[in-house]
Amino acid sequence: MWTIALALFTLSYTLAFLSELNGWNVLTFQIYYFSISPLVAFMGVGTLFLISHKPWGKYFLIYTIILTIVLFILIFTANIDATKFAQAPTPSEIAGEPLPSYARSIPPLLTIPGSVILIVGALYSWWLDRSRRYVMLIALGGIVELFSGLRTRLGNPTYSFVFNTAGILLLFLGFVLSSEYVKKCGEKPATSSKISN
């Protein structure tokens, strides 16, 4: 799930970078807005799979997939107001204004619960095992992403690219450190077994 989320981040940020060079057209904006909207929800799904023994991850995955399909249909059938492209502070800081309001109503249903699950899940993981300090980076990255998303949603997308970049770097660093932590934990039993033999 996190791989899907990071792939969506890569796609959306590539398009945002290209927008700084070439501006937006309707298709690239549609792909950008679609790719950036469900990615935090997929992180939330992955978090639930990691911390929950109940099928909450599956339920939230179904919820995420259904809303993602609805969002896809709404975005790619909507009338895009291309005159709004020039109104962003910079091209990469565009919000959802070119879309009709009904299409903009779906992303918060993905990003807000996804962010809350990601942040609370990271803090819960740290509470269970204080040695997992890397999850604090994940929680902080989620908070930065949520803050940036709320600012954009409230009509202030300025510096959203900076906030989003900081958030994803924190999330990625936490993810990398978690992989190293799991690797070290996996090595300990083998080492102790070798010593005992």
Decide: 43 and 118 in contact? Cβ < 8 Å.
Answer: yes
Low-confidence ranges of the chain (pLDDT < 50): 188-197
* pLDDT at res. 46: 92
Decide: 174 and 134 in contact? Cβ < 8 Å.
Answer: yes
Give the integer Cα–Cα distance in Å for 97 and 104.
8
Tell me the pTM: 0.80
Torsion angle (degrees, nearest 10) of CA 14, 79, 158, 35: -30
Q: Where are the alpha helices (DSSP H) in the chain?
A: 2-22, 26-36, 39-51, 56-77, 101-104, 107-128, 134-153, 160-196
Give the integer Cα–Cα distance in Å for 158 and 165.
13
* pLDDT at res. 181: 76
* pLDDT at res. 151: 80
Largest distance between two CA atoms of the chain: 73
Instruction: Give how far the C-alpha of residue 182 lies from the chain's centroid of Cα atoms, to the nearest Å.
Output: 22
Cα–Cα separations (whole angstroms), residue 159 to 57, 84, 118, 149, 165 = 32, 18, 23, 11, 10
Domain boundaries, the chain: 2-196
